[in-house]
Amino acid sequence: MNDQKMAKEILASLGGADNVEQAWHCATRLRVIANDEERIDEEKVKQIDGVIGLVKQSGQNQIIIGNRVNAVYKAFQELLDQASGEGNSEKKESGKETHERTEKKGKRPNVISRMLSTLVGCITPLIPVLIAGGMGKCLILLLNMLGVLSDQSQTYQILFLIFDSAFFFLPVFVAISAAKQFKSNPYLAALLGAALLNPTFIEMIQSGQDIAFLGIPVVPFSYSSTIIPAIVAVWILSYVEKFFDKHLWSAIRGFMSPLLSILIVAPLTFVLIGPAMVAVSTQLTNVVFFLSDKLGFFSLAIFALIYPWIVTTGMHSALAIAGLEAINKKGVDPFTRALTLLHNITQASATLAIALRTKNKEFRGTAISASLTAFFAGITEPCLYGVTLKLKRPMYACMIGGFAGGLYAGIAGLKAYVFLTPGLFTLPMWIDPANSGDLSNLWNAIIAMGIAAVVTFVATLVIGFKDVPPSQEAAER
Domain ranges of the chain: 3-109, 169-284, 295-476
Res 475 pLDDT > 50: no
- Contact assessment for residue 417 and residue 136, using Cβ atoms and an 8 Å cutoff: no
Instruction: Name the CA dihedral angle for 118, 402, 139, 288, rounded to a multiple of 10 degrees.
Output: 50
Helix (H) or strand (E) holding 43: helix 42-46
The listed CATH number (3.40.50.300, 2.40.128.110, 3.40.50.2020, 3.30.1360.60) that belongs to domain 3-109: 3.30.1360.60
* 424 contact partners, CB below 8 Å, separation of at least 6: 375, 376
φ, ψ of residue 374 in degrees (nearest 5)? -70, -40
d(CA 262, CA 317): 31
Confidence of residue 313 (pLDDT cuts 50, 70, 90): low
Task: Give 238-297 pLDDT, tens digit per residue.
Answer: 999 999 999 998 889 889 999 999 999 999 999 999 888 878 777 767 776 777 676 777
| Lowest-confidence pick of 273-277, 291-295, 421-425, 472-476 | 472-476
Question: Cα separation of 297 and 445, whole Å?
Answer: 15
What is the structure's pLDDT at 178? 92
Say how many C-beta atoms besides its own lie within 10 A of residue 293's C-beta: 13
Which pLDDT does position 290 carry in this prediction? 77
pLDDT mean over 309-333: 79
- Kindly report the length of the chain: 477
Distance CA 101, CA 75 (A): 29
The residue that leads in pLDDT, 471 or 135, is: 135
More confident residue, 3 or 120: 3
Cα radius of gyration (the chain): 24
Q: Point out the least confidently predicted range of 314-323, 421-430, 433-442.
A: 314-323
Q: Is the pLDDT of residue 92 over 90?
A: no
The amino acid at residue 336 is T
Q: Which long-range contacts (CB under 8 A, 24 or more apart) does 370-375 make?
A: 372/348, 373/66, 373/67, 374/344, 374/345, 374/347, 374/348, 374/423, 375/344, 375/345, 375/348, 375/423, 375/424
Structure confidence at residue 101 as a pLDDT band (50, 70, 90): very low
- Residue 454: pLDDT band with limits 50, 70, 90: very high
Q: What is the pLDDT of residues 140-164, one digit of tens each?
A: 888 888 888 888 899 999 999 999 8
Identify the pLDDT of residue 68: 80
pLDDT tens readout for residues 330-386: 889 888 899 999 999 999 999 999 999 999 888 888 889 889 888 887 878 778 878
Helices (H), 217-297: 228-247, 250-268, 274-293
pLDDT score recorded for residue 99: 46
**Percentage of the chain with pLDDT > 90?**
37
CA distance 364 to 387: 10
What's the rounded mean pLDDT across residues 96-117? 54
Mean pLDDT of 212-232: 87
- Top mean-pLDDT range of 75-79, 163-167, 260-264: 260-264
Q: Which residues are catalytic?
A: 26
Q: Where are the alpha helices (DSSP H) in 152-211?
A: 154-168, 170-182, 186-195, 199-207
Q: Which uninterrupted H or E stretch holds 56?
A: strand 53-57
In this predicted structure, what is the pLDDT of residue 430?
94
pLDDT band at residue 24 using 50, 70 and 90 as cut-offs: confident
User: How does residue 2 score in pLDDT terms, banded at 50, 70 and 90?
Assistant: confident
The DSSP output letter for 468 is P
Pair 457, 349: CB distance under 8 Å: yes
| Range 407-417 average pLDDT | 93
Task: Tell me the one-letter amino acid at 293.
Answer: D
* 232 alpha-carbon distance from chain centroid: 18
Closest by alpha carbon to 99, among 180, 42, 38? 38
Give the Cα separation of 333 and 229 in Å (integer).
21
- Residue 339: CA count within 13 A, CB half-sphere: 28
Q: What's the confidence (pLDDT) of residue 61?
A: 87
CB contact set of 9 (below 8 Å; sequence gap of 6+): 1, 48
pTM value surpassing 0.85: no
394: pLDDT strictly greater than 80: yes
pLDDT, residue 357, reads: 93
Whole-angstrom distance, CA of residue 172 vs CA of residue 188:
10
What pLDDT was estimated at residue 113? Answer: 63
What mean pLDDT value characterizes the chain? 84
The DSSP bridge pattern shows strands 29-34 and 53-57 to be unpaired
* Dist. CA 299–CA 305, nearest whole Å: 10
Cβ proximity of 122 and 31 under 8 Å: no
DSSP state of 18: G
Helix (H) or strand (E) holding 216: strand 216-218
CA pseudo-torsion sign 420, 423, 425, 427: positive
Within its chain, how far is the Cα of 93 from the centroid? Answer: 33
Q: How far apart are CA 181 and CA 231, in angstroms?
A: 10
